[in-house]
Amino acid sequence: MRSKLVYRALLVILCGVVFAGCSSASDKVAEKRSSLKIMYVDEEAYFFTQYGDLFAMQFPNIDIEVISTSSIYTEDNQDYNKAFADFIEKKQPDVVMLSMDDYEKFAAEGKLLELNPLIERDKYDMRSIYPALIEILKQQGDGKLYGLAPSFYGSALFYNVDLFAKYGVKVPHDGMTWQEIIDTARQFPTAGDEKTRVYGFGNGNAMSMEDLASDIAGTQGLKVINTDTMKITLNTDSWKQAYKLAKDAVDSGTFYNPKDGGFQSGTLEDLYQSQAFLMGRSAMTIGRSYLLSNLKDAKNTIKDYKPFQVGIVAGPVDPAEPDKSRDITFNELFAIRANSLNVDAAWEFLKFVNGEQFAQIRSKSLNNGLLSLLSRTGYSKEYDGVNLGVFYKLKPILDGTSSMDNSKIPGEFHSQYQTVVERELKLVEEKQKSIEEALQAMEQEGQAVLDKTVKDEAAK
């Protein structure tokens, strides 16, 4: 209770400073008594902590009703997409919170209000919003903007400056490819017990050949299934190269891949102890911005923790498109339902939570952990002494597969196909098959599984 009171007191002080003399909000909306239904993923209390309290200080005459989507997840819904659409139709929220997939689908179906006319009407300043996010949203909206996101996720290459200095290895640079990352990782020693030794590269969990190959393929935009033809395309030069690169990396012993699979259960300290990079035993890792929060928390959680200097560079990248990333995703994307009766109030909410004032307050708030990055640039410039500008360097690139394309793949396909993959890759590891032979078998048997599950679903 005390922490909540302190937090609210801080907000009052910050709002008093930021809002003083501001007249960006619509006077008519601010003075008129109105109500607003906002769909949100979590309980009402969390929404008001994140957004509602701040908005209410600016618009005390707008009454907010939070429509929680938690019931969709708890009910036995065999078709989540239908349940989600039915929920919105039944509850009729003015503001909807969507995933990127839902955003694209709802925009294509005409269920969202285009924002450009409102932006032009109010001369809403979009210049300091990370351009990459607006570009993605417009691409997914067929050239039009239907939503805005106050924050986003992006990945980068983290490295342990101290380990690079100790072993005399050249530090990473922006725009590294997976080949360069693996070549760098192999310059670190491989001797010692797997629980205490140093690794050239290590994510939080064990990294198998399949895991690494999937990451490499994702960076390069490779897809298992061509959803236009509904054909599996694994037996290609690009996929072969991805798997060979992954196999060489894992075989080198420089990638963190403990035999027990890593952390299974235990305390928070046990979890942190199992993370090679967090514990200073891995030279590099790929992570999101909240890895910095984990590093800071580990210092306070683990007894006798040995901190180290952290560096971050943009990457990994596809060598064919070295200035772009396929790993920019949204945290909470807000849009206005097309048939909303409270468009002006809904638009004020979107303007506010995506605005300069909100970004300034959130960047200073005691409650602002680094779970995501602010879409408004220029506010969260560093965290615990580490510059965050690297997360804004790369331009977005969409993978070319929409949510509507992915919906063509039956849910039953994935588990059956995974069985084939695990069997074939085990044969590769045991040197009973080559990568080419395994990929050929995965493609042929996977296609049979895909054809069958598509046929079974159609029969239903």
Report the 10 Å Cβ neighbour count for 394.
24
Task: Identify the pLDDT of residue 21.
Answer: 42
Which of 372, 379, 334, 335 shows the shortest CA–CA distance to 356?
Answer: 379
What's the rounded Cα separation, in Å, for the pair 257 and 206?
4
Residue ranges in the chain modelled with pLDDT below 70: 1-32, 43, 73-78, 260-264, 365-371, 398-406
Task: Identify the pLDDT of residue 31.
Answer: 60
Task: Identify the pLDDT of residue 370.
Answer: 63
At 424 the three-state DSSP class reads: helix
At 375 the three-state DSSP class reads: coil
Contacts of 375 (CB under 8 A, 6+ apart): 129, 130, 133, 148, 149, 150, 151, 152, 354, 359
Q: Which domains does the chain have, with CATH numbers?
A: 2-150+331-377 (3.40.190.10), 156-325 (3.40.190.10)
- Helix 237-251 × helix 178-185 angle, to 10°: 20
Contact 412, 453 (CB under 8 A): yes
Q: Extract the tokens encoding 110.
A: 């005409």
| b/e sequence 192-218, b meaning 16+ C-beta within 10 Å | eeeeeebbbbbbbbbbbbbbbbbbbbb
Only one residue has tokens 């509507």, namely: 404
Beta strands, E only, 314-359: 324-325, 328-330, 333-336
Report the 10 Å Cβ neighbour count for 40.
24
Q: What is the 3-state secondary structure (H, E, C) of 254-285?
A: CECCCCCCCCCCCCHHHHHHCCCCCCCCECEE
> pLDDT tens, 265-276?
778 777 888 889
What's the rounded Cα separation, in Å, for the pair 200 and 186?
6
> pLDDT tens, 176-186?
999 999 999 99
Helix (H) or strand (E) segment spanning residue 155: strand 151-160
List the alpha helices (DSSP H) in 221-328: 237-251, 268-273, 290-301
pTM for this one?
0.85
Only one residue has tokens 């509850």, namely: 91
What's the rounded Cα separation, in Å, for the pair 398 and 206?
28
- How many helices (H) and strands (E) in the chain? 20, 16
Task: Identify the pLDDT of residue 14.
Answer: 46
Report the 10 Å Cβ neighbour count for 74.
7
Task: Identify the pLDDT of residue 134.
Answer: 92
What's the rounded Cα separation, in Å, for the pair 276 and 160?
11
Per-position DSSP letters for 99-154, written without gaps between them: -HHHHHHHHHTT-B--SHHHHHHHT---TTB-HHHHHHHHHHTTTS--EE-SEEEE
